[in-house]
Amino acid sequence: MLHEYRDLITELKGKNAHFDAVFNKHNELDQRILDAEEGREHMDQFELETLKKEKLRLKDEAYHILMEYKKSKANS
């Protein structure tokens, strides 16, 4: 997720509990989606689509947290 911000993610992880929770939940959903798509976990298309939308929402939230953190660093 957001590989272009890898250094910023590493810096922020452990400093922001909310970011950590969003990041971890995104990764958990990513794995569940992969498992479903590869047949290791059974779910219907509606559930899979719901997980994909939630994963995207979490990615957007993580991005906004990263941008706020980056802005606050620049202003310090």
Three-state secondary structure call for residue 40 = coil
Q: Which helix (H) or strand (E) holds 1?
A: none
Residue ranges of domains in the chain: 3-74
Rounded distance between C-alpha atoms, residue 72 and residue 33, angstroms:
34
pTM to 2 decimals? 0.89
What angle, rounded to 10 degrees, do the helices at 17-37 and 45-74 form?
Answer: 150
pLDDT tens-digit readout, 25-71 = 999 999 999 999 999 999 999 999 999 999 999 999 999 999 999 99
Rounded distance between C-alpha atoms, residue 55 and residue 32, angstroms:
10
Residue 76 has pLDDT above 80, yes or no: no
